[in-house]
Each structure stands twice: as C-alpha cells, then as structure tokens.
Amino acid sequence: MTVEFPEFTQILLDAKKEKGVTFADLEKLLGYDEVWIASLFYGQNSATPEIAKKIADALDLGEALVKSLCNYPSKGLGPVVPTDPLIYRFYEIMQVYGYPMKEVIHEKFGDGIMSAIDFTLDIEKVEDPKGDRVKVTMNGKFLAYKKW
C-alpha cells in the first residue's frame, strides 16, 4: 500500500532540493519550526497567505502553490499500520509504550489528554561516540476531561 500525498508535496520537495534549502533554512526565513513547516509540505497543516507566499518565493514557485498551501488540511496520511521503516518505529513505540505513557500522564495530571493542537514537536541530533541519537520532544498542553 502506498501513501498518497497532495499533488503539491513532490513539487515542494523537488524545489527545496533543487535550491539546496533545508527545513531549518525555512525556519529561519519564516520564524516557524522546521517540523511544522515540513508538515505544510505534506498537507498536514495550512499556511497563511503570507507564509505560503514566502515559501513560494524562496523556492521560485507560483501562485497556484500558494493557494494549495492555504487549503484546510485533512489530517493523517497512509495506511493504518505505516510501512515506511522510520515511521513504523514511531508506531511501534506507541504500541509498546503508549499505554505506559498514558498511565504516567494520568498519574501526573489526572484524567485527560495531551493536546495535539496546542503542541510543539522538536527533533534534535545528539552526537554520541556509540552512534548519533535522535531526540524527539513532544510538548502538548494537558486538557482535562470535563465532568458534567
């Protein structure tokens, strides 16, 4: 099963590669986190017209792309169980540690959830003599369930 991305995703990725621009470069230009900007490329978030225009200008792309980046997203991509090895590892982490994480969150905060709306995600490279490490930090607001 293949993942179907929006039509503009490959255009953006190709233009970024051709220009030699990284998501970190776009973060400096736009003032938004590189992970959030990457999510725009995959149609998982929407840009304001101003942000979309800055991206299009930086990558020498046209007005049609600006409109595409401003569309409201349909969140979530791909099959229920992802097949890409890197993405699958995150799925595997949730399969193994999801309920333990949930239990610890409930112990610390009570009955509720971590927001994916009021949320940030940071990815860092941590150098290690035994092999570089990937550090992923998820930071979401706690939302208590309402009792009525």
Residue spans of beta strands (DSSP E) within the chain: 112-126, 133-144
Strand partners, 123: 136
- The DSSP symbol for 114 reads E
The 3-state DSSP class for residue 56 equals helix
Catalytic residues: 89, 92, 115
Please report the sign of the dihedral spanned by the C-alpha atoms of residue 125, residue 119, residue 81, residue 40: negative
